Structure 1
Amino acid sequence: MSFKNESAFFIGKKMQQEDLLVQKIEKVLLKFEPVAKTWVKEGPRTFAHFQDGVALAALSVEVCVLVDYVYGPNHDIAKRIKGVATLRSLTHLRAAEGMLRGTIEAIRGGLLADLRTQILVDVQSDFIEAARNAIAENAKDVAAALLCIVLEDSVKRLAIKHGLQSLANQEFSIVTTELFKENKITKATKGQLLAYKDLRNAALHAQWHEVSVETVNALLYFLPGFIEQHGV
C-alpha cells in the first residue's frame, strides 16, 4: 500500500474525530424538546416547573459530561454551558440547547482552534499508540507508515504555526531546512529530523525492504518529545 496521500489521510482522520463530536452533541440535543414539553408555567396555585424532573436531571448530567468531553472540564465555554444546564428553568434549558448548537457550528466552521488542536493531539496519540502496538506485534511496516504520517504532518504544521504557509506543500526535507533557516528549530533538531528522511521516503512509498526496526523504534521515541516541545 502506498501512502503518497498521507496528508489527506491524516486530515480525513481528524475530520472523522470532528464528525464523532458532532454526532455526540446531536444525540444529546434530541433529548431537549421532550424535556421542554414537560414545562409547566406558573399559575395561581403552582410555581413554574418541569413535570419530568428525572428527565431534566438526567439531561443536565449528560450535558455536563458531554461538554467536559468536547472542551475539557476547565474550558471557559464548558463552564458556562454547565452553569446554565444545571439551572431549572425553561429559559436556561433553551440557552444550554443553543450553546450546544453553537458548538456544532463552531466545530464545522473551524472556529474552535484549541478544540481542533486537542482533536489533533488525540489523533496523533492514536497513531503513535497504534505504531507502538504494531512494533510489539512485529509489524514494522505498519508502524513506520503511521509514524511517518505524523512526522510529515507535524513538521508542516510547525511551519504553518510560524507563518510559513508556503511550505505546506513542499517536500519534507525542504520544510525542515527552511524551518532551521528561519530559526524555528535548532541545528540538532534539524539533524534529527533529516535523519528520518530515508525512513519517511521508504515508508510513504511502500519500499518496505528499506525500513528497519531500529529506525522505526528511534522515530517512535523521538516523535512524542518533538510534538510536545514545539506544540504541534
Structure 2
Amino acid sequence: MTTILIVDDDHHIVTIVSEYLIQAGYKTMTAKDGMEALQQLKRTSCQLVIVDVMMPYMNGYELTKEIRQNYDIPIILLTAKGQISDKEIGFKSGTDDYLVKPFEPKELLFRIEALLRRYNQSEDKSIIKIGNTIINKASYEVQVNEKTLLLPLKEFDLLYHLMSHPMQAFSREQLITYIWGLDFAGDDRTVDVHIKRLRERFANVSKDFSIKTIRGVGYMLEVRKS
C-alpha cells in the first residue's frame, strides 16, 4: 500500500488531509515538524511527502532540501503564500509540486496521483504476474496458465491498474480518473459494471486473485494465498 507522510504543525490540517487520503486508499504517517519528519523517514519508507512551509525548528524549504538529498520520492509543498517568489524558493529547494492554502482535498489527491504516476513510469511494469496470471500491457493480453484472454480495452485497463496495486483499495472516483479520465461524462456505476464483468470472466479461470468490494471505499484486488 502506498504510504504518504504529512508534515504540518497545524493538527487540523493534518487530520483533514490524513482522513481524506485514508478514504482514498492510502496509508498515512504524520509529523508535526521537520525534525520529526526526518526521524519518521529513517524508520519507515514512504512513497510521497506533503510538507507545510511554515513550521518550527525547520521550515518546509529546509526539510524539502534534506529529503531531496537523501530520498528519491515526490514532494508537495503546502503554503499560505502564493507569490511567484515563494514558489521559486520552493522549486529551487527541490519540491515537485506546490499547493496554496486553502485548497480542495480533491485537488491535492489529483496532484498526488499525477506525481506517483510520474515517479513510477520509469519502472518496467509492462508485465505483471500474480500467481499463474500474467497481464501484458505491451500486447494487451492476459494469460492464465496456458490460456490467453483478450479483454475489452477498459476492462483490461481496469484489471491492469488493480493488479499493479494489489491489496490497495480504490474509490470509484479514483478508478474513473485513472481509467476513463477527468472528462468522463458518465457516473461511477460504470465502474461497478466493469468490475462485475471482470469477476464473471475470471471466476472459473483464475484462483490467483479476487476483486473485493471495500464497503464505504470502493474496490481492491486481493491476492489469494496458494
TM-score tier by shorter-chain length is 0.3 to 0.5
Q: Which has the higher helix share?
A: 1
Q: Which has the higher strand share?
A: 2
User: Normalization by structure 1: what TM-score?
Assistant: 0.32
Higher RCO by CA contacts (8 Å cutoff, separation 6 or greater): 1
